[in-house]
Amino acid sequence: MSITRLPPGFKITRDTNTEEFFINMGPQHPSTHGALRLALRMDGETIVEVVPHFGYIHRGMEKQAESMSYLQYIAMSDRQDYLTAIQNNLGVVIALEKGMNVGVPEKGEYIRVMLSELGRIASHLVFFGCFGGDLGGQTCLLFGFKEREMIHDILEEVTGSRLTTNFFRPGGSRFDVPENFIDRVKAFLKHLEGAMKDYERFLSKNIIVLERSKGIGILSAEDAIAYGCSGPVLRASGVDFDVRKANPYSIYDQLQFDVPVTYTGDCYDRYTVRIAEIHESMRILYQCIEKFPKEGPWRAKEKPVRLPVGRYYSEIETAKGLYATYVVAATTGEKPYRIHTRGPSFPHIAALNKMVQGHKISDLVTIMATLDPVIPEIDR
Amino acid sequence: MFVPSITHPVGDFIREWVPKLSAYLPEQLQSQTLDSIAAFLINALLCIIAVCAVNIGSAPILIYMERKVCAHVQCRLGPMRLGWHGTLQTIADVIKMLFKEVYSPSGADKLMFYVAPLIVLIAPFIIAALIPFDHNLIVADIDMGIPMIIAVNGFGVLGILLGGWSSNNKYSLLGALRSGAQMISYEISFAMILLFVVMISGSTSLMDIAQAQDGTVLDWFIFKIPVLGFIAFILFFISSTAEMNRAPFDIAEAEQELTGGYHTEYNGTPFAMFYLAEYIALVTNSALAATCFLGGFHAPCIGVAAIDGVLQMVPGVVWLFAKIYFMIWCYMMVRWTFVRPRVDQLMDFEWKFLLPVNLVLLAAGAVWMIFVG
């Protein structure tokens, strides 16, 4: 690649003794997790600089939202971070509820929390699979997806679809849960407990995994905050911040759970934080099963989704991090003036350059896997 | 005229029968030189057919086996649709592969690009010719078997380096460079372990090595020298996995990092050749492991005459293939269980751990040979 035809945002320093070269990783590459392009400046196999390029699957969701009704935008939120679709629904719905000033009955809240936590486990299982897969253990990928399928079976029975759920509505949800919902979740949790033991044995103490992830891609707490990281990436760097604790929504303030925090900020820490979060989510689910109200309404009285003039903001903790929705209603009606979404993956990719410098190209793959980005959510 | 001939029952049989059959030819065509040349050509043809049959024939079986082992490790069923339990799937895949258009990327060095897969195929075919399949079933029983294997094994690196370089792709080049560094490093351990085997058996001929393990299971080199033999076997397993570029040492391909490494730009038949070479190398390395450590074609006798008699009724070639497929199964289980180390860690492992351990092993083996063996 000639020096004159380098991609934008890419600069070559000529004061090195060795010859640097440029590698284009993506947009079609197995481990960029979607259509993400990374322009790499390499010195041999060592990375000097990485410049991420986005926009390959930009669909203009926020612009489209301006000509959509509020209800239609709930379906759009599924198509952002498709791994945590059900949680994205919740984030949008909470913002709308603030505008409509409706409450949710107790049973409705429990349904929301349970489905959200199932979604969190599903997303972290995908992380587990991709992490192992990106390290070269293809078997991990299948193991992670096996339990995720079970969650999707549950979601399918409850919501009618597996991935893009489009389930929550202002005041509750579309349907009540089926009668066997609690039993299915119970059976699944029992299975998952056994499975997680195997999976952790498979990766957590594997010497090659430890060698490849410890001390790799360290992100300091200051940098994590400066870049706006959230979720497990932030917590792995030693910042105890979780929206569920810091700014509780739904019924999270009534539930007992811990926020796992580790302090090194390397790839292994990001891995252990997510594994610990699976266990915390299971703890939340067990509590929900115990307290789940059998009787009572599951949604508030239906009324048209019309928001009065104003600005409404909600933030929730998805599996990836802080997912915020900002709705601006300029006129009272069914359509927003503007909806903005703050997704967690974008700041993580922005911090990538900070983490990979001086590491090998294999480490870039490991670091990308532990950031767990979902490209459709970056390129909304 | 010099016609190379190696004493061999099948070869001798043909050498004996060609003059008898040539008696039916017209007078003016009969000559001793012609007979020996004809016998040599027939022998050579038989040898080539035998090597091809074993190598090319085992590739589809191995691909099917790999897919099934992989699937069952990953809680899947694998190919199930075409034929009984998907047995015809491999044939369908091969047909698809052969009928694909062959093209090279722009800017590629065309000659090198197409020669590279052929070079990769050479090494495993030559090694297969050196493996003794039974007491009298060997294509080339040469005295310098082990040095020959060490010499020929280096050939594969050349093909991979050429393929990666001529593709005009940075990922291919990175993969080729990684592979070159890796295979050359691990060749040293690989040769060291074979040297250990040579030291115990006192011969560099593979036939002699196999014959030296005659007797019970305890005479196999893996058990003959207590502990040391087993360590040597494990070290051989590791370094041969690296030699073959198989996971977990497949940093040359490293799909997640280099999108396929040196064969990123290959498709159709040239790609099939890389694929074939990988699986034939699996057979030959397993055969080498079986010959050097697991008693070669000898039955696993246990020292009880009644049982040994039954075991020895089974032909040696069956025992050898049983051992080969056991080894292949081990390689496959390892491939689908472990994750891949980083390229510098792989080099560290070879130069800072495997090689010193090998040297210590060699010294310990020598001490054992002096005082016990």
Concatenated DSSP letters of A210-232: HHHHTTSS---HHHHHHHT--HH
The reply to whether B16 falls in a domain is no
Inter-chain touch B345–A211, beta carbons under 8 Å: yes
Q: Is B250 on the interface with A (CB under 8 A)?
A: yes
Inter-chain touch A45–B257, beta carbons under 8 Å: no
| Strand A168-169 relative to strand A46-53, pairing | unpaired
Q: Is A136 on the interface with B (CB under 8 A)?
A: yes
**A16 pLDDT exceeds 60?**
no
pLDDT averaged over 10-residue windows placed end to end, chain B, 373 residues: 54 77 76 77 81 83 89 87 86 87 82 87 84 79 85 84 84 83 86 88 86 81 83 89 82 69 82 86 89 84 80 83 90 87 85 90 88 77
**Average pLDDT of the segment spanning A140-155:** 88
Inter-chain touch A208–B76, beta carbons under 8 Å: no
Q: Is B336 on the interface with A (CB under 8 A)?
A: yes
Inter-chain touch A360–B74, beta carbons under 8 Å: no
Which DSSP letter does residue A355 get? Answer: H
Asked whether B159 and B117 are in contact (CB, 8 A), the reply is yes
Inter-chain touch B74–A138, beta carbons under 8 Å: yes
SS3 assignment for B76-134: CCCCCCCCHHHCCHHHHHHHHHHCCCCCCCCCCCHHHHHHHHHHHHHHHHHHHHHCCCE
**A365 pLDDT exceeds 80?**
yes
Inter-chain touch A211–B248, beta carbons under 8 Å: no
Q: What span, in angstroms and rounded, lies between the C-alpha atoms of B315 and B303?
A: 18
CATH number of this structure's domain A70-378, picked from the four choices 1.10.645.10, 3.40.50.300, 1.20.120.530, 3.30.465.10: 1.10.645.10
- Please report the residues numbered 343 through 362 in chain B whose beta carbons come closer than 8 angstroms to any beta carbon of chain A: 343-345
Choose from A19, A42, A43, A138 for mutation: most chain B CBs within 10 A: A138
Q: Is A46 on the interface with B (CB under 8 A)?
A: no
Chain A residue numbers with beta carbons less than 8 Å from the beta carbon of B164 are none
Q: Is B78 on the interface with A (CB under 8 A)?
A: no
Q: Which amino acid is at A299?
A: R
Least CA distance to A141: which residue of chain B? Answer: B74
DSSP string, A170-200: TTEESSPPPTTHHHHHHHHHHHHHHHHHHHH
Chain A residue numbers with beta carbons less than 8 Å from the beta carbon of B344 are 360
End-to-end CA distance of chain A: 31
Q: Is B107 on the interface with A (CB under 8 A)?
A: no
Q: What span, in angstroms and rounded, lies between the C-alpha atoms of A247 and A242?
A: 8
The phi, psi pair for B106, rounded to 5°, reads -65, 140
Choose from B257, B332, B348 for mutation: most chain A CBs within 10 A: B257
Q: Which residues pair with A24 in a beta bridge?
A: A39
pLDDT of residue A79: 87
Q: Which amino acid is at B232?
A: A
Q: What span, in angstroms and rounded, lies between the C-alpha atoms of A268 and A214?
A: 5
Q: Is A222 on the interface with B (CB under 8 A)?
A: no
Chain A residue numbers with beta carbons less than 8 Å from the beta carbon of B337 are 137, 139
Q: Is B75 on the interface with A (CB under 8 A)?
A: yes
Q: What span, in angstroms and rounded, lies between the C-alpha atoms of A11 and A19?
A: 14
Q: What span, in angstroms and rounded, lies between the C-alpha atoms of B196 and B359?
A: 10
Three-state SS at B181: helix
Residue-range domain boundaries for chain A: 3-53, 70-378
Residue A19: count of CB within 10 angstroms of its CB: 7
Question: In chain B, where does DSSP find H-type helix?
Answer: 9-22, 32-73, 89-98, 110-130, 145-153, 155-166, 170-201, 206-211, 221-224, 228-243, 255-258, 268-293, 305-313, 316-335, 343-348, 355-371
- Give the nearest partner residue to B341 out of A30, A31, A208, using CB atoms: A208
- Please report the residues numbered 183 through 242 in chain B whose beta carbons come closer than 8 angstroms to any beta carbon of chain A: none
Q: Looking at the complex, report in whole angstroms how far the Cα of residue A243 sits from the nearest Cα belonging to chain B.
A: 33
- How many whole angstroms from its chain centre is CA A288? 22
Q: Is A26 on the interface with B (CB under 8 A)?
A: no
**Average pLDDT of the segment spanning A340-365:** 87
The phi, psi pair for A328, rounded to 5°, reads -115, 120
Q: Looking at the complex, report in whole angstroms how far the Cα of residue A45 sits from the nearest Cα belonging to chain B.
A: 8
What's the predicted TM-score (pTM) here?
0.84
> Please, is B160 exposed, middle or buried when counting C-beta atoms within 10 Å of its C-beta (0-12, 13-18, 19+)?
buried
- % of chain A at pLDDT higher than 70: 95
Half-sphere exposure of B350 (CA within 13 A, CB side): 25
Tokens of B277: 């070479």
Residue B369: count of CB within 10 angstroms of its CB: 13
Q: Which amino acid is at A44?
A: G
Chain A residue numbers with beta carbons less than 8 Å from the beta carbon of B338 are 136-137, 206, 208
| Cβ partners under 8 Å of residue A164, min gap 6 | A75, A78, A79, A82, A85
Inter-chain touch A142–B74, beta carbons under 8 Å: yes
Q: What span, in angstroms and rounded, lies between the C-alpha atoms of B212 and B207?
A: 9
Q: Give the H or E element holding residue A243.
A: helix A243-246
Asked whether B347 and B185 are in contact (CB, 8 A), the reply is yes
Inter-chain touch B343–A29, beta carbons under 8 Å: no
Chain B residue numbers with beta carbons less than 8 Å from the beta carbon of A360 are 342-344
Q: What span, in angstroms and rounded, lies between the C-alpha atoms of A11 and A3?
A: 9
**A141 pLDDT exceeds 70?**
yes
Which long-range contacts (C-beta less than 8 Å, at least 24 apart) are formed by B12-18? B14/B39, B14/B42, B14/B43, B14/B46, B15/B39, B15/B43, B18/B42
Q: Looking at the complex, report in whole angstroms how far the Cα of residue B63 sits from the nearest Cα belonging to chain A.
A: 17
Q: Looking at the complex, report in whole angstroms how far the Cα of residue B179 sits from the nearest Cα belonging to chain A.
A: 13
Q: Which residue has the tokens 């058990």?
A: B223
Which long-range contacts (C-beta less than 8 Å, at least 24 apart) are formed by B219-227? B219/B295, B220/B293, B220/B294, B220/B295, B220/B298, B221/B197, B221/B292, B221/B293, B221/B295, B222/B293, B222/B294, B224/B200, B225/B200, B225/B365, B225/B368, B225/B373
Least CA distance to B343: which residue of chain A? Answer: A362
**The sheet that has A338-342: what strands, in order across it?**
A310-317, A322-329, A338-342
Q: Is A246 on the interface with B (CB under 8 A)?
A: no
How many domains does the structure of chain B reveal?
1
Q: Is A353 on the interface with B (CB under 8 A)?
A: no
Q: Is A21 on the interface with B (CB under 8 A)?
A: yes
- Give the nearest partner residue to A212 out of B74, B254, B341, using CB atoms: B341
Least CA distance to A40: which residue of chain B? Answer: B170
The reply to whether B356 falls in a domain is yes
**A314 pLDDT exceeds 50?**
yes
Chain B residue numbers with beta carbons less than 8 Å from the beta carbon of A143 are 74-75
DSSP string, B33-53: HHHHHHHHHHHHHHHHHHHHH
Q: Is A191 on the interface with B (CB under 8 A)?
A: no
CA distances (Å), B47 to each of A346, B8, B170, in order? 62, 12, 40
Q: Is A362 on the interface with B (CB under 8 A)?
A: yes
Q: Count A/B contacts: CB-CB distance under 8 Å.
A: 77
Residue A180: count of CB within 10 angstroms of its CB: 12
- B108-135 burial, b at 16+ Cβ within 10 Å, e below that, comes to beeebbbbbbebbbebbbbbbbbbbbbb
Choose from A31, A42, A139, A148 for mutation: most chain B CBs within 10 A: A139
pLDDT of residue A3: 47
pLDDT of residue A1: 40
Q: Which amino acid is at A85?
A: A
ipTM: 0.79
Inter-chain touch A206–B338, beta carbons under 8 Å: yes
Length of chain A: 380
Torsion of CA A168, A173, A178, A181, to 10 degrees: 50
Closest by CA position to A212, among listed A286, A249, A170, A267? A267
Reply yes or no: is the peptide bond before residue B248 cis, omega within 30 of 0: yes
pLDDT of residue A121: 92
Tokens of A85: 């679709």
| Cβ partners under 8 Å of residue A262, min gap 6 | A235, A236, A238, A269, A272, A273
The reply to whether B21 falls in a domain is no
Q: Is B342 on the interface with A (CB under 8 A)?
A: yes
Q: Which domain holds residue B344?
A: 105-371
- Give the nearest partner residue to A362 out of B336, B337, B343, using CB atoms: B343
DSSP string, A95-156: HHHHHHT----HHHHHHHHHHHHHHHHHHHHHHHHHHHHHHT-HHHHHHHHHHHHHHHHHHH
pLDDT tens sequence across A193-214: 988 888 888 888 888 888 888 8
